[in-house]
């Protein structure tokens, strides 16, 4: 069973005396960025992304021809701990063709990309749809520890790691 990857970090002083800052955690596996195409949607997976345990997140997509950058932006980190998260970004409205996608923003990779992946939208997947004027982005973030924590616990019957009233869909 995959154990939750909650990384507690100590407080250090930076700049102004007494200002608490979360120290950089070393404990998430290396970031893994990969893609899959379902119909005309591209699903970009970013596994083992390192963020504050209680993040308020924003996501942005920037397309320049066949190059797509996805930014995972932690607006506010509300806790003094670091967690490993799995994220899925769904891109809709891509024209048929091949694309290179880079993901930016997690603690361990900034300012470099956390990962790069390739994908191809086949012609047949969009031939009956009218393409929108722009690419749309929908993003999903797992709880601390990643998606597999939920599926491993579900298979064993242990639901103690789930938030009260929250049961993961599609298990």
Half-sphere exposure of 166 (CA within 13 A, CB side): 8
Per-residue pLDDT of 6-21, as tens digits, reads 333 322 222 333 323 3
Q: Cβ of 99: how many Cβ atoms within 10 Å?
A: 22
pLDDT band at 77 (very low <50, low <70, confident <90, very high): confident
Q: CA 156, CA 3: separation in Å to the nearest integer?
A: 13
Q: Where are the domains of the chain?
A: 29-142
pTM: 0.67
């Amino acid at each position: 069973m995959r154990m939750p990857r909650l990384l507690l970090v100590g407080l250090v002083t930076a700049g102004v005396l007494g200002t608490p800052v979360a120290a950089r955690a070393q404990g998430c596996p290396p970031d893994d960025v990969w893609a899959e195409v379902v119909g005309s949607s591209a699903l970009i997976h970013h596994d083992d992304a390192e963020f504050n345990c209680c993040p308020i997140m924003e996501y942005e997509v920037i397309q320049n021809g066949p190059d797509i950058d996805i930014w995972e932006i932690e607006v506010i980190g509300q806790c003094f701990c670091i967690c490993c998260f799995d994220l899925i970004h769904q891109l809709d409205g891509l024209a048929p063709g091949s694309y290179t996608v880079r993901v930016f923003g997690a603690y361990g990779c900034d300012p470099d990309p956390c990962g790069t992946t390739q994908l191809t939208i086949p012609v047949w997947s969009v031939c009956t749809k009218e393409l929108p004027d722009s690419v749309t982005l929908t993003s999903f973030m797992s709880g601390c520890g990643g998606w597999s924590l939920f599926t491993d616990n579900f298979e064993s019957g242990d639901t103690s790691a789930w938030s009260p009233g929250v049961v993961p869909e599609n298990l």
